[in-house]
């Protein structure tokens, strides 16, 4: 998943992409635990 994200994407775009991918992966499954996402760009 992360290897497909271009380096020039903003952190907001990266987070939105990851959230979208997680939502697509889980589809209509009921969430039974928290999901935490921390994004840090090191340059």
Where do the structural domains in the chain lie, given as residue ranges? 1-43
pLDDT at 13: 93
For residue 15, the model assigns a pLDDT of 92
Averages of pLDDT over runs of 10 residues in the chain (43 residues) are 80 91 88 89 80
- C-alpha to C-alpha distance for 34 and 8, rounded to whole angstroms: 29
Cβ neighbours of residue 2 under 8 Å, at least 6 residues apart? 18
pLDDT for 1 equals 61
Using DSSP, state whether 1 is helix, strand or coil: coil
Q: What is the pLDDT of residue 28?
A: 84
């Amino acid at each position: 998943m992360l290897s497909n994200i271009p380096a020039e994407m903003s952190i907001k775009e990266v987070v939105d992409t990851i959230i979208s991918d997680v939502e697509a992966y889980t589809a209509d499954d009921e969430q039974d635990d928290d999901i935490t996402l921390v994004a840090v760009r090191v340059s």
